[in-house]
Structure 1
Amino acid sequence: MKINLDALRAALKAADDNTSGSLMERRAALLAEGKAVLDQIKALDNPDHDDPEALDAAKAAHAAAVKMDAQIDAAAKSSTVLRRLGAIDRGAKGAADPGAARYLGLGNPARAKSAATALATKMAGPNPSEKALGQTGTAMGDIPMVDIYERPDLPTTILDLLPMAVRPVNWSFLREIGREDNAAVVPAGEVKPESDYDIERVDEILRVVAHLSNPFDKYIIEDFRLVAQYLERRMYAGLRLAIESAILVGDGLKAAGPPRVDNVRGILNTSGIQTRAFATDLLTTIRKAITGLESVGHQATALVLSPSDWEALELSRAPGGGHFDLGPANLPVDRAARRVWGVPTVTSNILPAKTGVLLDLDAVEFVGDGRVDVEWNPYTGFARNEVQMRVESRIGVGVKSGLGVVKVATQA
């Protein structure tokens, strides 16, 4: 009786098909099917005679696995290839690379779409009567932080540039408030010079960012999927804008109230950051701001501009000839590249007028509790048959070095 090779052949075919899952997933499936066939071959008295076809298939599986191992080794040396492969080895906890930087996916369309599906389930579900009730009488459900994923090739928001770390509600960071580098060549037997670094510990707490939808008739939500999809998109977009606002312009005010105020202190409202006055034009100003970072040992790794300032850059022309300043061969800047002077650039409607932010991402810490809480309240509007949704998360921001951030004047 011949060994059934259908599953192994399918695995061999999938091994060369990049659309059939991640490289590690295809490799694991191939090894599993290969082992199953090999175990049956070992039970044969004379494999070369009894089932040579199965023996050839097992050898082909081994060769394919060796080839895939080589691909994995090469991929490990390239973060770009890693992103294209997807999840390399998720392990027990499901993380592709626990040590890699991760980013909050609220601004990523693909992630937001998948999160919206999860949100819809929490909202109405296949059977709304089966939603779990919390102690306060609300239908509740947590979904992952939409989620924390690898940096996209085309960042569109500061959330795509600034890595996020999961922290407990009480967290702290170290801030550099002064430095004096005195390292020098020292003759033998002489006292070595002493450098002076001033660092302070800042204790912080995660703060809630949240909003409520207006009340909706529950049957509209359940019967009209387009309404649910619209609400999903708007609730996530609103949360993203609020988090972006906290990161960039949070005022850090704390007061007992009423109303009680306890706000995140954003990048632009942190003392000790650099400022760069407008000089000649926006391109020149940004280049001088880059020099300001580099002169104190930082690297410019992110630039945030308003949409109008980004438009002004794209449309800027050389005096006299009328050629565009930006891009190869004097063509307009390639929007797909989103870079100015080699610095990844995103836009934001949150920034104050005539203001941009240039920063070294290593100088800023963005943290959160790692989830979005989604809650439906069907009881407040019980008499009207109305339901209301709340979406919230907890975040924190810490500027570890003010010298690593430049507030840029984008216009005179």
Structure 2
Amino acid sequence: MADLRAKALEHTATARQIAEKAQAEGRNFTASEKAAYDDAMTTAKRHADALRTMRDDDDVTAQAKALAAQIADPTGSTTSGGLQGRIGLSGKSGRELGRTLAKTMVPEGKKELAPTGTVVTAASLLPEIQELGHPSNRLLEILPTFISATPTFEALVQRVRENNAAPVAEGELKPTSVLGLEKIEARLEVIAHLSEPVPHYWLADNRSLEAFVNNELIRGLYDAAEAQVLTGDGTRPNLHGILTTSGLQVQAFTDNVARSVRAAITKLETAGHEDNHVIVLRPEDWEAAETARADGSGVLEAVANVTERATRSLWGVPVVVSTALPVGTGLVMDREEVSVHWDGQVAVRWSEVGDDFERNHTRARVESRFECVVADPTGVARVATAATP
């Protein structure tokens, strides 16, 4: 119990720190902060529910023991005589005794699910759900995020740039440079999904299950949003993804992943994007970059030693690992040139659909609205992480 309480307090403290930081700065949550806040609160609730379940189980056990003692000897004496004789002394029929036991086995505040007179034994689901692992998609945590007050909005993007600045003789016309600004109309698109039908009794018997389902669906929502930010083709209801934006710089594969990425950084710097870089790679490409060794010496080329793995940086630039990227593709970009817009909320609702009521099922729906804007395509380089066959 102490361990569950400590975990609940730890995640609650994390959520409070995020909220207090945003409040102190007089702003709303960013997308990454909202995701971290939701995750911390959901996890804290799950641990708290598990703690309450254990306490309720202890209360039920204590009540059952007390009732068993009362059944064995309602007068408080230690005289033997067996259960049958004691029932006669208490004046309770078998049905009345069963009803008393059934009521005792149901924790206070929970609906008595068993028919009157039925004895319910404790065979509850484990409070801690044994969940699968999650890919570490975290691009949304580092991109600038803006909350849109309306589902449609306008944005200025720069598609081309032509610098014609030059010396000018007195009285001559000055050259005109092309800034390439274009006003676009963007629209938030809905990303959503439902849970499978969940039996009502599962939710009644395990207080952690609702939080678990919510958490899984929210994670899935952000994974889908990240995939759309990277690869959406712009055809409604898809987002305008980074990789499908026209005008991106392209870096062909060189000797290995690490050197291909380095060449892409040079292209960004040449175009005037000298800092705020971020690298996005698939897990297998990050492994290849991290373990690449220089010819001849065999020394690790991209990192000083293997113990620096946790920093996830390449050529001094932070690396984000995402399974949403197409195979053989990486990205190097100026993070200030790519922004994510959303409606500022993740809606979670439980309801019955179709014949769920007749089947005693319910399910959850999670949704939000997003869009991606690439302000300057020259600030993004698409990198080939493998030689073309």
Paired positions, count? 290
Which residue is equivalent to 2:180? 198
Identity over aligned residues, as a percent? Answer: 34
8 Å Cα contact 2:258-2:302 kept in structure 1: no
* 1:336 maps to which of 282, 297, 310: 310
SS of residue paired to 2:308: coil
Give the structure 1 partner of residue 30 of structure 2: 102
Between the aligned partners of 1:177 and 1:105, the Cα distance in structure 2 is: 30
The Cα offsets for residues 228-276 of structure 1, whole Å up to 9 and x where unpaired, read as 343233212211110001100011124xxxxxxx211200011111111
Aligned partner of 1:221 in structure 2 is: 203
Name the structure 2 match of 1:394.
369
- Give the aligned partner of residue 157 of structure 1: 138
Match of 2:162 in 1: 180
Normalised by the length of structure 2, the TM-score is: 0.67
**3-state SS of the aligned residue for 2:255?**
coil
TM-score, normalised relative to structure 1: 0.63
Report Cα offsets for 1:78-107 as digits up to 9, x if no partner. xxxxx9x957987xxx62324799342466
Say whether 1:371 aligns with 2:345.
yes
Q: Helix, strand or coil: the match of 1:371? A: coil
1:209 has 2:191 as partner: yes
Is the 2:156–2:181 contact (alpha carbons within 8 Å) kept by the matching residues of 1?
Answer: yes
- Which residue, out of 338, 346, 358, partners 2:332? 358
CA gap of 1:119–1:370, structure 2 versus 1, over 3 A, is farther
Give the aligned residue type for 2:39. Answer: A
- Residues 89, 370 of structure 1: CA spacing in aligned structure 2 closer, same or farther, 3 A cutoff? closer
2:7 aligned with 1:112, yes or no?
no
- State the 1:219 CA deviation: 2.1
- Letter of the 1:112 partner, please give it: D
Q: What is the RMSD of the two structures over their aligned residues, measured on CA atoms?
A: 3.3
Letter in 1 for 2:372: V
Cα–Cα, structure 1 residues 99 and 289, in superposed 2: closer, same or farther, change >3 Å? farther
Q: Indicate the SS of the match to 1:208.
A: strand
What's 1:58 paired with? Answer: none
1:365 CA drift (Å): 1.9
Question: 303-312 or 98-107: which moved more?
Answer: 98-107
Matched residue of 1:214: which SS?
coil
1:113 partner letter: A
SS of 1:193's equivalent? coil
| Native 8 Å contact 1:104 1:163 kept in 2 | no
> Residues 389 and 119 from structure 1, CA distance in 2 versus in 1: closer, same or farther, beyond 3 angstroms?
farther
Asked if structure 1 preserves the Cα contact closer than 8 Å seen for 2:256 and 2:289, the reply is no
Letter in 2 for 1:247: V
Report the equivalent of 1:46. Answer: none
Using the TM superposition, give the Cα deviation of residue 326 of structure 1 relative to its aligned residue in structure 2, in angstroms: 2.8
Q: Is the 8 A contact 1:101 1:164 kept in 2?
A: no
1:198-224 CA distance string (max 9 Å, x none): 211110110001010000012212321
Contact 1:209–1:395, Cα closer than 8 Å, also in 2:
yes
Which structure 1 residue ranges, 4+ long, deviate > 6 Å from structure 2?
87-90, 118-121, 126-129
Q: Where does residue 152 of structure 1 map in the other structure?
A: none
Distance 1:88 1:378 in 2: 33
* Counterpart contact for 1:106–1:240, Cα < 8 Å: no
Deviates further, 318-327 or 396-405: 318-327
CA distance in 2, matches of 1:120, 1:379: 29
Say yes or no: does 1:281 pair with 2:245.
no
Q: Structure 1 residues 296 and 333 mapped into 2: Cα distance closer, same or farther (>3 Å)?
A: farther
Aligned partners of 2:282, 2:31: CA distance in 1, in Å?
21
Counterpart selection for 1:269 from 239, 244, 248: 244
Q: Is the 8 A contact 1:210 1:393 kept in 2?
A: yes
Give 2:298's aligned residue: 322
How far 1:364 moved relative to its partner?
1.2
> Quick check: which has more Rg, 1 or 2?
2
Q: Which has the higher strand share?
A: 1
Structure 2 residue 222 is the aligned partner of structure 1 residue 240: yes
